[in-house]
Copies of this chain bind each other. A is one copy, B any other.
Amino acid sequence: MREAATAESRPYHHGDLRRALVDAARRILENEGPSALSLRAVAREAGVSPAAPYHHFKDKGELLDAVAHLGWDALGEAMTAAKARAADVSALMTEIGVAYVLFAQQHPALYRVMYDCSRDQESLPEGMEDKEDSAYCLVRESFRKMVGPEISDEDVELATIAAWCAAHGLAEMSGFRQFDPAKAALGGEEAFLRSVLSHLGMFPAAARAKIDGQG
């Protein structure tokens, strides 16, 4: 059963089964959705027995973590690309936000897994953490560049959190039929996203205006 396996087709027993399993999981996720993503289905898709994955992952959750990790990497790249695309500093945040939501819309099953894993661990994964070169820092520094140096570090931090929450909320809710009229009125998905993101400011801005005006 082992013919000519020097370094390509199957370097070891099976080959790089770990990677094969993660790829199989992503394939199932894209083709059949999250509800079809069972460990047994992944093993089937990879052509191994149901118990084989346990030699590479502690349990199903660890396999999903690996899938989610690839997803966060891809999302980070999409956001970085959006930053590079931004025409000027004032468009930075909108560009990144739209890229975030579009990624979630284009890979809904993957995005679901990404967030379910994060929620279970109560934290964003490695690539998104608050350290050099992370997407979190990308957002924060883009934001700081936009608002200027007169804003305090604490305000920048809170605004970064707020922007991330808003993007996630919009990513999860933008599929609701309730928003179809608004989308139609604006003439497209991306126009709708831009409008909603830009209207995120109206509520507190108006409140502050009233407060400032009063006291």
Contact = CB atoms under 8 A, between A and B. Distances in A.
Contact of A201 (B88, B164, B175, B201): B201
Contacts of A170: 162, 165, 169
* Chain A: interface size category: 35 or more
A153 to B, nearest CB: 10
A51 interface: no
Interface string A187-215: 00000000111111111111110110010
A182 B177 CA distance: 35
Contacts of A208: 198, 201
So how many copies of this chain end up in the complex?
Answer: 2
B201 A158 contact: no
Given A115-B172, A198-B208, 12 more contacts: A90-B214, A93-B204, A123-B178, A136-B178, A143-B203, A146-B206, A147-B206, A148-B206, A154-B182, A158-B196, A165-B196, A201-B203
